[in-house]
Structure 1
Amino acid sequence: MGIDFKRTETETSKSMLTDPQKETERQPKMGVVSSELARSMLRSNVASNAEVQDDARSVNCLTQISCDDAKYSPYRSINGSCNNLNHPNWGTIFSPQPRYQPAQYDDGVNSPRTTGIDGSTFPSPRLISNKLFRAPGDCTETDHARTLMVMAWGQFTDHDISSTLPTLGTREQITDITSLIDGGSVYGNTYEQMEKLWDKNTDHLFENADGGAFDLASLNLQRGRDHGLPPYNSWRQWCGLPVGTSFSDLPDISKEKKAVFADLYRNVDDIDVFAGGVSEIPLDGAAVGPLFSCIIGNQFRDLKDGDRYW
C-alpha cells in the first residue's frame, strides 16, 4: 500500500502557511501512516473500532518527563510540562487533545464527515457560508456593544491553546502548542522559537505568507468536518439543551434561519455544529447562544481548574 505524503486536507494546507518545526512536520506523517493502518485493520475485520482505539492509545506514547525540579518552580515551563505533577504530559506541546464527544468520521478512522443521515452528500461549506452568513445586501451589521478588541482577544486566546495535528490510530488531534493560556503565541512553545524572538529578528516579524484569501465561515465548517465533530443536535444534547426534531421546531434559532437550514440540509440531524451554534439567538448580555455558551463555559472551566498556575 503506497502513501502519498503530498496529499493534504484543508487544515493541513492552512498549517503550511506557517513555518513548521521538525516535529510538527513529522507528526502528520506519523498520523497518515497510522490512519492508513487503522483503516486497513477495520476493512479486513482484524480489529474492531474500539480495539483500534486501544491500540492507538498504547502506541501514542509520550516522552517520559521528570518533574523533580519543576514541582517547586514558581513559573510555568516553556512547553507546558509538569503543570500537572501527577500527569506531567497533560497540556504539553505535541500531546493529544481530549474530546468532549467521540469523533464521527465517515470511515470511522480518518475521512471527514461528508454524508448525512440518508446517505446524501452534505452541502458545500461555501454554499452554507453564502446562504447563512451573508448579511442582507452584503452589508455588515454594526455591533454597538463591543469593540474590535473582543475579536482580537478571542483570536489571541484561541491561538494560544489550539493548533492541531493528526495523531495515531483513529484520528484525533495533537496540539503543537501548549493547552494552557500562557502567552505561547507571543513567545513560542519551544526554546528555539523563544530564542528567535530574543534575537530580535524583526525584519520578518510581521511578514505574511504568500497565501490566497480564505472564507472564514467556510474554513470553520470544513475544519469541523475534517476533525469529525458531531453535528449540532448531538452537541445540544450533550449540553442538556432541547433539540429540534424538525427544522421548524429548532430551539433558539430565528424563523428566517430555520428556513435557510431547511433549504440547505436534508435532515435536521445533519446540521454542522458551527452553522447551528453561530445561528442561535444570543443570550441576554452575551455574544453567543445557549450551545456555544455551554461549550465555551466548559472549556474555560477546564482551563482554569486544570492549570495550577492560573
Structure 2
Amino acid sequence: MRFLVFSLAFCAIFTYCLANRPKHDVSEDNYLELVREIEDEIAKENELKHEAREKDNLEQAREENGQEKAIVGNYDEPPYTDKEISYLQLAREVSDQYMEEIRRENEESENVGARTASDSLRAFSHPSRRTQMLAEENERQDAELETLQMLASGENLRMRNLPDLTAKTVQDDPTCNTKLDCEGKNLNLVDGKEFRTITGTCNNKLNYTWGMAGAQHRRLLPNAYNDGKWKIRKLSVTSRPRKKVFLPSARKISNVVHKTTKPKPENEDSISLGLFYFMQFIDHDLAKTAEGHVRKKKICCKTPTKATKFCLPIVVEESDDQFDKDDCMESRRSFVVYRCNDNVRNQINEITSYLDASMVYGSSEEEEDTLRTKKAGLLKMSTEDFLPISERATSLPCNATDVSTCYEAGDTRANVHPGLLTYHTVFAREHNRIAKELRKVNSGWSDERLYQETRKIVGGEIQHIVYTHMLPVLIQDSVLDQHGVTKEYDYKDSVDASMTAAFSMVYRYHNLMPHKLNLGRLKGDGVETFEQFNQESVFQKPSFVTRDNYDGINEVTLGMIQSQCPYVNRFMNAAARDLLFLDKNGNSFDLVALNIMRGRDWGTPSYTAYRALCGLGIATTWNDLTNTTDQEDIDKMKEVYADVQDVDLWTGVMTEKKLAGSISGATQSCLLAMHFANIKHGDRFWYEGSFSEDQLEEIKKITLARVLCDTLEDITLMRENVFRTNSDWKRCSDIEGKIDFSKWQE
C-alpha cells in the first residue's frame, strides 16, 4: 500500500506544482527532497494567515474525519505549527488525487462481455451504494494516513495525535453514534397504516438498527481472529509460539474431504431442484456480505506478500485435476467496519435480515425507486413481462455480450443463475398480479397504498411458504419445535433478528448443486427433460429464461421441478468445486475453498465450538464426533486437520449425518433453527400478526405451486408440492390456494 501511495503522491504533487509552483523533476530518488521543498513553500504561505484561520482549518479537518472534538480544543498540547498544517494539506492533495484515479480506473475497466473468473466473482459480490461510500472513505483515509506517516518520517516529526488527524484506516460503523426516533417521519406510514421500511430500520423500535440493511453480523460465540481483532483464523490449536502449525489449505480440504470423481447420484428423498433454487432465492432475502475494495490494477495473487488489507488469495499448494501447483484464486476479504466502542472489525449484512421479500423490492430507497413504476402500485417489467432491463449491467453478475439480457431486481445476484432468476421473475409478476386485484376492490387507493399493501401480501406469502413448506424439508420437526420455530408467533422486542455469522456460513447447501441444468417441457399428463447443459456453462447466463421465443422461463421451471437434487452428503459436484465462474482462459474458482476461507476471514470459531454450543458435547478427540458424524467422514477430516478442534465450520456441518426426515445434520439444524426462530419472533411485521383474521386465512392458503401457476401462464401442469419429485403433477386449475381479495376491500 505504501508504494502505491508513494506513486499516487508523485502524481498529486506534480499536478499541484504545475498549477501553482515552478516545475520540479519527479523521481522516486528525489521524492522526499521534493516533498520538503513543496511543504516549505506551503508553510511560507501559511505564515501570512491569521491564527484563527489555522484553528478553523483544524476544526474542519476534525469534522471531515468524524471526530467529535477539534484538536485545537486540547490545551494539553500546543497549537499545531504551520509545518504540521502544511503536511495535512499536502496529504489531502494526495488523497484527493488518489480517489480521482480510482474512479477513472473503475470507469475505464468496466465491461460486460468476456469477463474473467475474477471479474465474475467481483460482480457477484458487488457492494451496495452505502458500502461503496464507506469503502471510498476508507481508501481516502488510507492514502492520507500513509502520506502523513511518510512525511513525518522524512522530517523525523512525531506528528502529535496523528490518529486523530486521519481517523482509523477502517471506517467506524456510522450507526454507532447515530440516534433515531422510531416515530413519525421515520416510520413508513400510508393512510394512517404502518408498513415496513424498505431498509428495515425501526422494525424494532427500541433498537432501530436490529435487522436493518447495513447492520453488523451478530456473533453467537467470541471471534476466532488470530489476534482477536481482524487477522484471519489460520493457526491450528496445536500451534506453539516457537513451532507454528497452520490450518490446512482450503483447496487441500476441498480435494480430500469434498471431492467426487463423478457426478453425484440423485438423492433418495425425492427432493427436487425446485427446492434448491428456492433456498438460494430465500438466502438472497436474508444475507449479503460484500467484499472489501481492492483497486482494479491490484492483482492479489501476484503480490501475496504485499497484499492490500482486503486481499485473500487462495494458493494451490499441490497440483490436482483442475489446478496446477502455485495456481491462485483471486479471493478477497469481506468489507468490515469497527464494532461500536472497540477496535475489533466486523462484517456487515448489506441487505435487511428480515424475511421481507427484499430480493424483490430492494433494501434501500434508491433500489426500490429503480424498480417501481409509481403508477397503480406496479413494479417495472420489460418485454413479455420479464424483469426490467438493467442500466448498470457492468456491475451485475451477468456475463453476456448483449446487455438486453441483464435484469434489474431487488438483489444484485438475480442474474447469477437461470433457476434463481426464474424465482425473481415469478415474484415480481406475482406483485403486479396482486396489485391489479387489489385495485379492483379498492379503486380509490393511491399508488403508494396499492404498492405497500401488495408488498405486504407478497412478503406474507413468502414467509408462509418458507415456514410451512420449506423448513420442514430442511430441518427435523423436533429441532424446529425445540428452538421455537413452530411456536405460535409472539413478537419480542428483546429478540434480535440481525444476521448471525454462523447462520450465513451454514446456510450454504452448495452440496445440492447439480452438475447439469435440465430443461423440461409438457408432455401429455407429465413433464419430460428435453435438453441439458453443464452447470458451469450457465452461471451468469440470464438469457436462458428468454430462449425459445421467451419460453425459457417455463423450460427452466419445469426442468428444476422435474429433476431431483444430488445425494445429500459432504461431496460437491465439479461444476461448483472446480469450475465456478469458468472463463475463456480456463480460470475458475473452487466454491468449497471460498466457503472455508470466508469462515476464516470472518474469524468464525471451529465446528467443534458450535457443536458444543448446540449441546452436542465437547469434542477434544476425533472419537467424540461419532454421535454426529460417520467414521468414514471423520477419517477423511483426520487426513487434513491436525486436531479435531481445527475443523472449519462449513466442512464440519457438511460431513454430519443428516437427521431423519431432513437434509441437515445436528449442528447445522440447531444453528438454522435458532436463527429462523429469531427471524419470526423478532419481526414486528410478521405475517401472522399483521393481517386481519380473514386476510390471514387467505394468505395461509398459498403454495408455491399456486404462485407458479398464476405467474407462468403457459404452464398448465404443476406438482402440488414443488419441493418433492414424488408429488403428483396436477392441472393448474386444480391446484388450491387462490386468494379471495375481497377480504381487503374497504
TM-score range, shorter chain: 0.7 to 0.9
Give the deviation of 1:141 after TM superposition: 2.7
The percentage of counterpart residues that share the same residue type is: 29
Looking at structure 1, the residues matched to 640 and 133 of structure 2 have their Cα atoms a distance apart, in angstroms, of 39
AA matched with 1:289: G
- Encode CA deviations 1:61-109: one digit per residue, 9 max, x unaligned: 3463543253864421111111112222211111222111111101221
- Aligned pair count? 286
Q: What's 2:266 paired with? A: 142
Q: What's 2:366 paired with? A: 192
Q: What's 1:292 paired with? A: 668
The 8 Å contact of residues 117 and 267 in structure 1, kept in 2 or not, is answered as: yes
Task: State whether structure 2 residue 438 is matched by structure 1 residue 268.
Answer: no
Task: State whether structure 2 residue 216 is matched by structure 1 residue 100.
Answer: no
Looking at structure 2, the residues matched to 78 and 111 of structure 1 have their Cα atoms a distance apart, in angstroms, of 34
Looking at structure 1, the residues matched to 647 and 228 of structure 2 have their Cα atoms a distance apart, in angstroms, of 19
Q: What's 1:244 paired with? A: 619
RMSD value over aligned CA atoms?
3.1
Structure 1, unaligned runs of 5 or more = 38-55
Looking at structure 2, the residues matched to 178 and 190 of structure 1 have their Cα atoms a distance apart, in angstroms, of 9
Q: What's 1:123 paired with? A: 248
Looking at structure 1, the residues matched to 364 and 124 of structure 2 have their Cα atoms a distance apart, in angstroms, of 19
The 8 Å contact of residues 234 and 600 in structure 2, kept in 1 or not, is answered as: yes
Give the deviation of 1:280 after TM superposition: 0.3
Looking at structure 2, the residues matched to 16 and 171 of structure 1 have their Cα atoms a distance apart, in angstroms, of 24
AA matched with 2:630: S
Q: Which moved more, 1:300-309 or 1:24-33?
A: 24-33
Task: State whether structure 2 residue 353 is matched by structure 1 residue 179.
Answer: yes
The 8 Å contact of residues 160 and 185 in structure 1, kept in 2 or not, is answered as: yes
- Secondary structure at the counterpart of residue 283 of structure 1: coil
Greater C-alpha Rg? 2
AA matched with 1:264: V
The 8 Å contact of residues 612 and 619 in structure 2, kept in 1 or not, is answered as: no
AA matched with 2:654: V
Give the deviation of 1:260 after TM superposition: 0.9
Q: Which moved more, 1:239-248 or 1:18-27?
A: 18-27
Q: Which moved more, 1:62-71 or 1:143-152?
A: 62-71
The 8 Å contact of residues 31 and 171 in structure 1, kept in 2 or not, is answered as: no
The 8 Å contact of residues 253 and 281 in structure 1, kept in 2 or not, is answered as: yes
1:277 to 637, 640, 653: 653
- Secondary structure at the counterpart of residue 182 of structure 1: coil
Give the deviation of 1:126 after TM superposition: 1.3
- Secondary structure at the counterpart of residue 96 of structure 1: coil
- Secondary structure at the counterpart of residue 295 of structure 1: helix
AA matched with 1:268: V
- Secondary structure at the counterpart of residue 172 of structure 1: strand
The 8 Å contact of residues 97 and 173 in structure 1, kept in 2 or not, is answered as: yes
Q: What's 1:158 paired with? A: 283
AA matched with 2:649: V
Looking at structure 1, the residues matched to 351 and 246 of structure 2 have their Cα atoms a distance apart, in angstroms, of 34
Q: Aligned runs of 1:1-310 on 2, under 5 Å?
A: 2=2, 14=121, 16-28=123-135, 60-62=176-178, 64-68=180-184, 70=187, 73-119=193-239, 120-135=245-260, 137-145=261-269, 146-164=271-289, 165-168=335-338, 169-198=343-372, 199-200=380-381, 201-202=388-389, 203=404, 204-205=406-407, 212=582, 213-251=588-626, 252-310=628-686
Where relative contact order (Cα < 8 A, 6+ residues apart) is larger, the structure is 1
The 8 Å contact of residues 619 and 644 in structure 2, kept in 1 or not, is answered as: yes
Looking at structure 1, the residues matched to 136 and 220 of structure 2 have their Cα atoms a distance apart, in angstroms, of 26
After superposition, the Cα gap between the structure-2 partners of 1:84 and 1:15, relative to the gap in structure 1 and judged at 3 Å, is: farther
- Secondary structure at the counterpart of residue 230 of structure 1: coil
- Secondary structure at the counterpart of residue 95 of structure 1: coil
- Secondary structure at the counterpart of residue 25 of structure 1: helix
Looking at structure 2, the residues matched to 142 and 273 of structure 1 have their Cα atoms a distance apart, in angstroms, of 25
Length-normalised TM-score, structure 2: 0.35
AA matched with 1:273: L
Give the deviation of 1:214 after TM superposition: 3.0
Looking at structure 1, the residues matched to 592 and 205 of structure 2 have their Cα atoms a distance apart, in angstroms, of 39
The 8 Å contact of residues 173 and 337 in structure 2, kept in 1 or not, is answered as: no
- Secondary structure at the counterpart of residue 127 of structure 1: helix
Looking at structure 1, the residues matched to 138 and 625 of structure 2 have their Cα atoms a distance apart, in angstroms, of 38
Q: What's 1:52 paired with? A: none
- Encode CA deviations 1:215-251: one digit per residue, 9 max, x unaligned: 2222111111110100011111111111332223323
Looking at structure 2, the residues matched to 244 and 24 of structure 1 have their Cα atoms a distance apart, in angstroms, of 39
Give the deviation of 1:116 after TM superposition: 0.6
Give the deviation of 1:26 after TM superposition: 2.8
The 8 Å contact of residues 91 and 180 in structure 1, kept in 2 or not, is answered as: yes
